[in-house]
Amino acid sequence: MKDIEQQKGSARRDPTIMRGRLYRMTIYILIVLALAILVWKMVSDGMMESRHAEELKNERETASIQLAERTENLATVAGVAAGLAFRDALMADDVDRMREYADQLVQGGPVDVVMVTGADGVIRASSDRNREGTGLDATLRSLLGTLDHVLVDEVGQNRVRAVVPLTGFNERIGAVVILFRFTSSLPSAGE
């Protein structure tokens, strides 16, 4: 029995066996270290991806808000400019000139339909000739009496309506209704 213990003791002191153990321990430590680095890399990539997705969502929301504001500003400015042109033609009751202006607006950009109404809400001239002589819907007609500034609202996907009140020297003489149709939109924040 003493021989077995002596062999174990000599094996512990043998430098080749000690080196082998040292190499194995070093390899084990390096494997554990490599696995820890791999796990850390996966976690940090996941966190970075999550952060990037959140920033992208915020950028899309910001761009959507800015696009909506700019669209409203475009519709307001276009409505005011068109209102100035149509006002004189409506006061002179020049239907041909109102039709010409309406046709030019439709040809020149994202305008789908232009309608010019009298104070009674009846469409006097339009880029869509089938609408002439008909009345606006009851909601718009009741709104015309109290409207004192350009009203811009969405009337469908990628469609915006601008209602521009027209006043003569001291009374309301009608309104211009412009329907804009835009061909594309920004993706929503959830996409």
**Packing angle, helices 15-91 and 95-107, rounded to 10:** 170
Alpha helices in 108-182 (DSSP H): 138-144
Element (H, E) at 153: strand 151-156
Residue 44: half-sphere exposure toward Cβ, Cα within 13 Å: 6
Residue 11: half-sphere exposure toward Cβ, Cα within 13 Å: 8
pLDDT in tens, 158-169: 888 899 998 877
Distance, CA of 69 to CA of 178 (rounded, Å): 17
pTM of the model: 0.66
Tell whether the model's pLDDT for residue 12 goes beyond 90: no
Quick one: pLDDT at residue 191? 45
Q: How confident is the model at residue 108 (pLDDT cuts 50, 70, 90)?
A: confident
pLDDT in tens, 19-70: 788 888 999 999 999 999 999 999 888 889 989 999 999 999 998 888 888 8
Tell whether the model's pLDDT for residue 85 goes beyond 90: no
Written as one letter, the residue type at 74 is: L
For residue 19 the two structure tokens come to 């080196």
Q: How confident is the model at residue 190 (pLDDT cuts 50, 70, 90)?
A: very low
CATH topology of domain 46-181: Beta-Lactamase (3.30.450)
**Residue 150 contacts residue 163 (beta carbons within 8 Å):** yes
Phi, psi torsion values for 5, nearest 5 degrees: -65, -35
Domain ranges within the chain, ordered by starting residue: 46-181
